[in-house]
Structure formats: C-alpha cells, structure tokens
Structure 1
Amino acid sequence: METIWQPDGSSRLFKAVDRKSLNSEFLSINVDFALKARQANSWAADVPWDLFLNYVLPYASYDENRDDWRPVFSYLFSPMVRSARSLTEAVQILNFGLWKIWGITFRPDQTPEVMSPFQVMEAGYASCTGLSIFLVNACRSVGIPARVVGTPSWKAREESMHDMSKKVSEYGHSMRTDNHNFNNHNWVEVWDGVSWSFCGALEANSKGLNRTWFFPQPAKSQIPGDRYHAIYAASFAPTGVNYPLVWDESWSQPGIDVTQSYLDAKAPQ
C-alpha cells in the first residue's frame, strides 16, 4: 500500500489506497477541523508538527471504513476538554466520559465487522480494536496525538494466560488463547507532551495513564522483532515495518515496533 507525503511538508498526507474512494471535500474537511483543533488549546498548539501530521491529522488508523467522523467528534468532544490543563488531563476526560454518550460497551470478537467510529456508534459496542480506533479519533478530534497500538498475539504461557483471563474478566472482558486471531489485543497510546503513554479504551484509570490490565504482564513477555509477538504502534506515514493485522494480513499496515519501550517501562506506583 503506497502512502503519499507531499514534499512541501504540508499537512496533506493521504493513502493512495483511498484516492479513488475519498473526494477532495472529505480531505479538505478533515484538514480544516484538524487545524482548528490545533488552535483551540495551548497544549494542542504545542504538539510538534511531525506528530501532528502523523497522529492528529490522519482520518484512519487501520483498514476500517473511512467515516467522516471529525466534524461530529469535534462538536461533541471539544467542549468536554475545553477546561483541560494538559494533554493527559484531556485524554482522561475523554476516556471516562465519551462512552456514556452512546452507551458503548465492550463485546469481544467484533473485528473486523465493527471497527469504524460510525459502526461502533450504531452498534453500541465493539471489541478492543473498534474501541481503540474510536478513542484515537476522539483524541485526534481535539488535537491530541494518538495511535492504535497492539500485539497480534500474547507470548505468555498458556497457563499464565488462563490466570490473566480471570484478571481481564474484572473489566467485563474475555480472552481466548487458542490462536493469533483471538489472542491479539489493541489499546491506545497518546502523546503526553514528553513521550508516549498508554491506556485501554473504555478502561480509564482514575490514577492516571500507563495503568492497564496487560502491564506489566503480559506486555513484558513480548519479543521485539517477532512478527506475532511484538508490540506495534500504527503509523499513517510509511515506516518500512509491516504491522500484521490478524483479521486481514493482506493489508499492508505501516507500523513501529515499540516492544522495547514496554520492556523498559516501570510500572507506575
């Protein structure tokens, strides 16, 4: 899948695969609302330009339907974060509050049928992939750099995963460990003004970011460079690294292997 970046350094970054289906009006609206979000808060305006181009401006994360979500999300979520004093505070506000608008809940094994924002809104539920895409777009709609992150398959031993399944059930989730397709997981990374922090979509923790059921384990059992057992961050710009989507491995998804950052990270107190 070819990706085109305009050589003049402008904000017009579009995937060639979408050129036949997305018209100039869709792209223009996307750019206009992204730039307005950048101007709305000091913490959005301070986002480095390269991060804005790759993690605020883009209209999609994976191979989900190309919904025109930005005008709707901007209208709904901009007022929610208007008083936020930082990127991280804004993320927490969104992850705690936006799901209540539609009564959205978690339901496993929905990918790829329920992935795009409008599909999730209509269904009222999604699995971790759809929820993560939804939160990423909500963050981008208010100027927060965000990206979907995940692993095609947890490496942890099956008996450990059995124990982990019990822990995950505390969040109303379920986990299958029989193959890569159902042992995958997705979550969200957001730029906190200094580095990338992470959170689970629909799993906000009142203590802050970087507190999830999968960290430290099983995240710290993942293997950098391993096709199925690495942790990848989705990128809109080309990276030279392919992020395997277990529901459609024919899709060429640019990614960044961020496994080492999870291996090095310390669990917050």
Structure 2
Amino acid sequence: MRFATVVAPCVPFGNNGSGISCVTQAVAIKSATSFLVDNMPPMDEPNKATLFDDGVAAVGVNASVAAKATYPWAAAVPQDIFDEYVASYALLNEPRTDWRPFLEAVVAPLVENLATAEDAIAMVNGYVNSSVSVWKSLGVSFKSSQTPLIFDPLSTAAYGYASCTGISAMFVAALRSIAIPARVVGTPAWRGDAENGNHNWVEIWNATTGAWDFIEGRPSGGGETLTNPCDKWFCNPSKFPTTPNNATPVFAARFDRHTNLSVYELAWDPTNLDVPGENRSDYYMQACSQC
C-alpha cells in the first residue's frame, strides 16, 4: 500500500483550544491513512487494495491534506477530528465514489476569499445568496423516497435530486471537500416507531466550542441556522418527547469502529450493523423538547 503524496506547506492542526501546531504533509497523510485502514468498514475490506493504492481513499486523503493547508478555517481542526470527519472517504454505506475532487471544484469558487467556516457553510448552503450555492451549481433539489437508490454524492449530482439522506450526504461531502468537519445524523424512527417515518440531517463541528451544531441541506429545509436548534422544522417536543417509551433515537454516523461501539441505524437497511454511530438521542431530546 502506498501513501498518497501532496505538494503543500506544513499542515496546521488545532490543539483543542491551546494553539496550533504544524506537521509535515507526510505525517498528516500517514495519520489519516492509518486511521482509515484501521477502521475500514467490513463492506470495504475486499477492495482494500483498490481503495488505498491510488484509489478513492488515497485520493481523498491527498486532497484532504491539501485542503487542510489551504483554507483558513481548517487550521483549528485537530488531527482526530480531521482524520474522521474530513479525510474519511465514507459517509454511510453508500457506493464508494471519487466525490471529493468533483465537489471541491464546485465549492471552492463559492468560498474564495472567505475567512471563517461559518461564512463558508452559509455560502455553500445558499444562505448568503439564495442563487449561489452547491445546490444551484449542481441543480440539485429535494425529492422524497430516493434512498437507497440515490444517495451517494455523485448519484445525487447526476440525477439532480435526492431525499433527505442524499441531500445530507452531499452537504457533508461538500463541506469535507473544503476541510470543514461534518457528518450525517438522523433518526430511523420518529418517537421510536418506524411507522412514523425517519429523517437525516447534518452536524458540523464548531472549532470555537468543540461541539457539534446541526442544520439541514437547504433543499431539505430552508431558513435554518447553526445557532438556534428551534428553527428546524423537526426540532420540537412532538418529534422529541421526553417520555422514555416513545423517545426518538438519533445517531451520528462515524468511521471509528474501535472507540465507538454503537451503530448508526440505517432506516433503508435495518439489518446492516456495520456503520458506527454515536448515540445523540439525549442531546436532541434535551435541545428540542425546549422548543
């Protein structure tokens, strides 16, 4: 297996609020690649050589490290957050495609000359100018009930539509392409009952607080912010009751399958237990029951 190479200056990493350190590109690439290999999902193991010998994973690490050294907001992102939520080639159990260079080519012009992650997120999602966004650039709109047929970023771009899972996956991928840590989050069953439906949205890592804020890709829900949980259509006591017998389970997709032992419950593939997921149920119940 060969590590990808990238021509870049030293790569900055945040130290969890205690300044910025700089590592060589070789160290950054090796760390991210080792993390991805060590936590590779079972579905990818037969294709390990294809992924990492100049394949999707290697190209993704290379591009991620280059982005880390390019965008000003990326400097504060720590190594562990970067490895899992920027450099990772996988979002859920979607087909593994080379979405990163495609999406960065679309998104980079949108965020040119911006200095903060908050401004970049708003621009990519169309909240600075409704006619300028990744959605407008690619002509992507919301269409219900598309997962699992259409939900990886390149399929969404090709078809021009997706349901909440595909919209969320594309938004996460677009942000990762410019070194903003993001992940898909969602519930497989409102109020614990699959008959009530499911939903997916996006969490974005906040370098100032070290916490995860949440929002939807604009085609799934407009008029939302990262600062107010209650401006999401689903964040309310009806969707998140405080009674244990009908609580809504929520999971955030992860890549780390060693320190994280819970599972992201896939509404479209309920017997698949191979996607790690951080249990976020208590956070959302507390936040949304107050709305």
**1:10 and 2:46 are equivalent in the alignment:** no
Task: Determine whether 1:241 maps to 2:262.
Answer: yes
Is residue 109–residue 182 contact of structure 1 (8 Å, CA) maintained in 2? Answer: no
> What is the rounded CA distance, in whole Å, between the counterparts of 2:140 and 2:123 in structure 1?
16
Per mean C-alpha deviation after superposition, the further-off stretch among 254-263 and 123-132 is 254-263
Cα pair 1:223 1:229 within 8 Å, conserved:
no
Which portions of structure 1, spanning 4 or more consecutive aligned residues, are displaced by more than 6 angstroms?
A: 266-269
Q: Cα RMSD (Å) of the superposition?
A: 2.7
Number of residue-to-residue matches in the alignment:
239
The corresponding residue for 1:135 is: 171
Deviation at 1:146, TM superposition (A): 0.2
**Identical counterparts, % of pairs:** 33
- Residue 200 of structure 1 aligns with which residue? 216
> More deviation in 45-54 or 206-215?
206-215
- Note the C-alpha offset of 1:83: 2.5
Runs of 5+ consecutive residues of structure 2 not aligned to the other structure: 1-28, 127-132
Q: Is the CA contact (8 Å cut-off) linking 2:187 and 2:250 kept in structure 1?
A: yes
**Partner residue, 1:213:** 233
2:282 matches 1:260: yes
CA-CA distance at 1:130 after TM superposition:
0.5
For the residues of structure 1 that align with 2:109 and 2:116, how far apart are their CA atoms?
Answer: 15
1:266–1:63 CA distance, 2 compared to 1 (3 A): closer
1:213 match: secondary structure:
coil
The alpha carbon displacement at 1:220 in A equals 2.9
The Cα of 1:265 is off from its aligned counterpart by 2.8
What residue is the counterpart of 2:113 in the other structure?
Answer: 83
TM-score (norm 2): 0.74
Is the contact made by 2:254 and 2:276 (CA closer than 8 Å) also made in structure 1?
yes
Give SS of 2:267's match.
coil
Does the CA contact (< 8 Å) of 2:248 and 2:285 recur in 1?
no
Can you give the 5+ residue segments of structure 1 that lack an aligned partner in the other structure?
Answer: 1-7, 157-178
SS of the residue corresponding to residue 243 of structure 1 reads coil
CA distance in 2, matches of 1:268, 1:182: 21
Q: Are 2:221 and 1:183 aligned?
A: no
The match for 1:114 is 150
Distance 1:247 1:86, change over 3 A: same
